[in-house]
Amino acid sequence: MRQPHANSSRSALPTRRRFLRWLTGCMVGAAAYSDWWLRRALARHSRHLTVVNVDRVTLKVPFRPVPARAMAREIPHWQYTELCFVKLASGVTGLGETLLFYTWGVPSEAAVRRVLGKNAAEYLWDRSLGAGLQMALFDAVARTLEVPVHRLLGRQVHRETPLSWWNIDMPPEDMVAECKEAYRSGYLAYKTKGRPWFDVWAQVEQIARALPAEFKVDLDFNDTLLDADRAIPILKELEQYPQVGIYETPIPQGDVAGNKRIKAAVRTPIAMHYGNPAPLVALREDVCDGFVVSGSAAQVLAAGHVAAIADKPFWLQLVGTGVTAAFSLHFGAVLSHATWPAVNCHQLYVHQLLDRPIPVRRGMAPVPDGPGLGYTLDPSVIDRFRVPRPPRRPEPPRLIEVSWPDGRRMYIANTGAVNFMLTLAQRGKMPYFERGVTTRLVPDDGTEHWREVYRRARKEPFLTRSSLF
C-alpha cells in the first residue's frame, strides 16, 4: 500500500526538479535573450555612432577692419581656421573647429585614422584628437542622440551664460570704437590687453568717457607689469574708473608673493590662467580671485569643478569663430562658476560661420537647447573663405614702430616666433608703461630704406631718438 505522503513526496521530487530545470532553462534562456537583446541594442547604437567619414577644410576668415589693423602686428595667423566634419553611420554630421595656429591641439592625420570605423562615443574625451575633431565628435554624438552637447557634459545649471567681446591691444580711438560696437551688440564686457606700447591710462580714460559704468573692460597684462612694486600704483590708478572690471596676470603668475600683494592692494578682481601656479598652490595662497579656463573638454570640466569646490568664478577661454563660441556655451551651461564673461574671440571676424549669430542681450547668451551644438554651419562660408592649408604658420614681414611723445622710437620686427613684441616686454627689454606711447605697423612702401630698417630690427629691436619714417 502506497503511503500517500511517501507517494506524494516521491512524485513531488521529480516535479520540483522538473520545475527547477524549467526555471533554470527559463533563466538561461532569459539571460541569453537579454544578452542577445543587449548586444543587438549596442550593435544597433554603435552602428549609429560609427564614424564613417572625417573631412577637414581650411578657411581664411578675414578680420573686421578695426581688429584687422591691430591683429596685423603680431597675430595675423588667427585668420586660419580648420573646420572638421565627422559623419556617423546615423547619417548625422558633426561640426568642429580648430584655430590652426592658436589652439590646445591640432587634429593630426593619425587622429583621424584612429577614429574612422570606431564608435564616436568611445573617443569623446580623448584629448589627443585635438580641438576640432573632439568638438565634431561631441556635435555628432549629441545630434544622433537628439540632445544638446551640454547633456553629454553634465547637469545643466545655467540657461544663459555671459560672453565677452575680445580684441588685442589697439590705440584708444580704435578701442573706444570697438567698445561702443560691443555695447551696441548687447555685450557688457570687453576683454583686451594692457601693454607698455600703448597708453593704458588714455585707453581707460577714453572708454570711461564714452561708455556707461555697467560696461566693463578686462585688462590682461600677460606679466608685462613685471613686479608688484611697479604694478600696484598703475592698477590703483586705472581702477578709479568704474569701467575697469577684471585684471588678468598683471605680473608673472609664478610670483606668488607679488601676486598676493597685488590682490591685497587693489579692489579689482584678479584673474589668472588656471594651472600656474599649481591649482592647489593658487587656492591655498589665495593668489587670485578667479581663473581663466581653457583646453580640452576634460580639462575644462576638471578646472570648472575645482573652481566650484573652491567657490572661485572663472571665464571660459575657448577661442575661434562662432563654431567654437557655440561649443563654449555648452560648458557655460553645466559649470556653476563659469560666471565671468567667456572669451571666444569670434567677434574678430567678418563672419561667425554659423547659420545665425549668437545673440547677446545684457551680456548674456542663451544656452542652445537644440541637438548638438545648437547651431549649424552657414554652408556659403566654404566657398567664400576656403584656402589651401598653410604648411606652417604664415610669417609675413612686419615692421612695428613704438613712439613716445618725446620723440623716441622703437623698431621691432617679426622674428619667426609668436608674440615677438610681448616677449620683449615680458623680459623688460622695452621701456616700461608711460603716458602718450603709441604703436603702429609701418607699411612696407617697397623702398630700400624700409628693407634696411626691417633687417636691422629683425636682427635686434632698437631705440632711436627720433623717427626713421
Q: Is 139 in the site for Mg ion (CB under 5 A)?
A: no
d(CA 81, CA 84): 10
Q: Is 218 in the site for Mg ion (CB under 5 A)?
A: no
The most distant pair of C-alpha atoms in the chain lies apart, rounded to whole Å, by 132
Of the candidate spans 15-23, 53-61, 187-195, 212-220, the one that interacts with Mg ion by CB under 5 A turns out to be 212-220
Q: Is 97 in the site for Mg ion (CB under 5 A)?
A: no
Which lies closer to Mg ion via its Cβ, residue 178 or residue 220?
A: 220
CB of 316 to Mg ion, least distance (A): 13
Which lies closer to Mg ion via its Cβ, residue 220 or residue 401?
A: 220
Q: Which three cell numbers stand for residue 271?
A: 584673474
Which residue of the chain is nearest Mg ion when measured via CB?
220
Of the candidate spans 95-103, 218-226, 235-243, 342-350, the one that interacts with Mg ion by CB under 5 A turns out to be 218-226
CB of 124 to Mg ion, least distance (A): 27
Which lies closer to Mg ion via its Cβ, residue 82 or residue 220?
A: 220
Which lies closer to Mg ion via its Cβ, residue 148 or residue 313?
A: 313
**Looking at 82, 97, 199, 220, which residue binds Mg ion (CB under 5 A)?**
220
Give the H/E segment covering residue 439.
strand 438-441
Of the candidate spans 207-215, 216-224, 235-243, 296-304, the one that interacts with Mg ion by CB under 5 A turns out to be 216-224
Which lies closer to Mg ion via its Cβ, residue 220 or residue 255?
A: 220
Would you list the DSSP string of 215-282?
SEEEEE-TTTT-SHHHHHHHHHHHTTSTTEEEEE-SS-TT-HHHHHHHHHH-SS-EEEETTSS-HHHH
Q: Is 169 in the site for Mg ion (CB under 5 A)?
A: no
Q: Is 178 in the site for Mg ion (CB under 5 A)?
A: no
Which lies closer to Mg ion via its Cβ, residue 169 or residue 220?
A: 220
Q: Is 255 in the site for Mg ion (CB under 5 A)?
A: no
Omega within 30 of 0 (cis) for the link into 277? yes
3-state helix, strand, coil in the chain (%, to 5): 40, 20, 40
Q: Where are the alpha helices (DSSP H) in 99-246?
A: 109-115, 131-144, 150-153, 172-184, 200-210, 228-238
Q: Is the CA virtual torsion 199, 203, 206, 209 positive or negative?
A: negative
Contacts with Mg ion by CB under 5 A lie at 220
